[in-house]
Amino acid sequence: MKTKAKMHNTWLYVMHHWRLYVFFLGPALLLTIIFRYLPMGGILIAFEKYSPFKGFLNSEWVGFEYFRQFLTSPDFMTYLVNTLKLSVFGLLWGFPVPIILALLLNRIESARIKQKIQLVLYMPNFISVIVLCGMVRIFLSVTGPLNMLLGTTINFLTLPEAFRPIYIISGIWQGAGWASIMYTAALANASQELKEAAQIDGANIFQQIKAVEWPAIKDMVVIQFILQAGNIMSLGFEKAYALQTDLNLGASEIIATYVYKKGLLDGNYSYSTAVGLFNTVINLILLIVVNKVVEKMNDGQGL
């Protein structure tokens, strides 16, 4: 009864002050509908032989023809495997790094030193992807610092086997510090009394992390893992495209760069939309599956 009365009072308050809600929420809701939901109608292009002159409402309907064309193409498995390798290896290598950084930062007693280290760790996040790729190209060029250090003349960006480590390591360097902010904030809620008690009882660093600090960030880790694992297929094309060369295409050509080339460079809008929609559907399925798996492993707690 108390819950019903509370809901009733809340509803009466909203109805009485509806103008205030319209004033603050109206513009945001309108922008969301215009820029997020209305463009979803464009997925019809994936099922049509789209013509810009006829529009997507009057173009010839072809059904799943472009999906069949992509799934039966000889390069389909190459693009899919390249995308999965970049994402899965990036997740396995990169996901633990922000957690480790946050745990290490939490061990620093001096607030001044901690702030300076955090500043250094966060700075790479503000470098744009294109500038980062330019830095990588310079650093790994034949006359770059790495070759000078090793005394070699290897152009690493022409080696397909070197593309994935370059892509993943540069991504970790750029984003790990910034990603550690969430875990650092969560660690601030860890009980200092329990930490001091563990230290008095003679617990080592790993035992303190397991008993005190890990419970404080566990839920955050689970949520971030689900989100990142569910986005395995959603690699952006910018970085992969900027680091591509004619000689490393065997490893660097992923679904996102393929969609970009087919859609914007070749003008094959229907085919590229079908490929992009396929990628999105697979990504959604992965998100649901990962969430269910984590629920079973985490006592029924997921997203």
- Biggest CA pair distance of the chain: 78
Length of the chain: 303
Q: What does the alpha-carbon distance between residue 45 and residue 271 come to, in Å, rounded to a whole number? A: 8
pLDDT for 18 equals 77
pLDDT in tens, 84-133: 899 989 989 999 999 999 999 988 888 899 889 999 999 999 999 999 99
Q: Which of 55-64, 94-103, 159-168 has the lowest mean pLDDT?
A: 55-64
Nearest to 252 by CA among 163, 129, 172, 170: 163
Q: Any idea which residue has 């509908």 for tokens?
A: 33
Please give the pLDDT value at position 117. 92
pLDDT band of 5, cuts 50, 70, 90: low
Average pLDDT of the chain is: 86
Give residue 300's pLDDT.
Answer: 62
**Distance between CA atoms of residues 96 and 89, nearest Å:** 12
Q: What is the pLDDT of residue 41?
A: 81
The pTM of this model reads 0.82
Quote the percentage of the chain above a pLDDT of 70.
Answer: 95
pLDDT confidence bin for 3, thresholds 50/70/90 = low
Q: Which two tokens stand for residue 75?
A: 């390069």
Mean pLDDT of all residues in 60-88: 90
> CA distances (Å), 254 to each of 85, 118, 135, 183, 260, in order?
10, 33, 22, 31, 10
Question: With left for phi above 0 and alpha for psi between -120 and 50, is residue 300 left, alpha or beta?
Answer: left
Query: Could you give the 3-state DSSP secondary structure of residue 60?
Result: strand
Does the pLDDT of residue 195 top 90, yes or no?
no
Q: In this structure, are residues 181 and 271 in contact, taking their beta carbons and an 8 Å threshold?
A: no
Q: State the Rg of the chain over Cα.
A: 25
Quick: pLDDT tens for 42-56. 888 889 988 888 887
Q: How far apart are CA 220 and CA 298, in angstroms?
A: 13
Could you count the other beta carbons within 10 Å of the beta carbon of residue 39?
9
Q: Using DSSP, state whether 107 is helix, strand or coil.
A: coil
∠ Cα 92 217 120 (to 5°): 70
Residues 167-194: pLDDT tens digits?
Answer: 999 999 999 999 999 899 888 887 777 7
pLDDT at 2 over 60: no
CB atoms within 10 A of CB 69: 15
pLDDT in tens, 267-301: 888 999 999 888 888 888 887 887 787 777 666 66
pLDDT above 80 for 1: no
Query: Residue 12 pLDDT more than 60?
Result: yes
Say whether pLDDT at 302 is over 60. Answer: no
Q: What is the pLDDT of residue 241?
A: 92
Residues 65, 63: Cα–Cα separation, whole Å: 6
Task: Say if residue 160's pLDDT is above 80.
Answer: yes
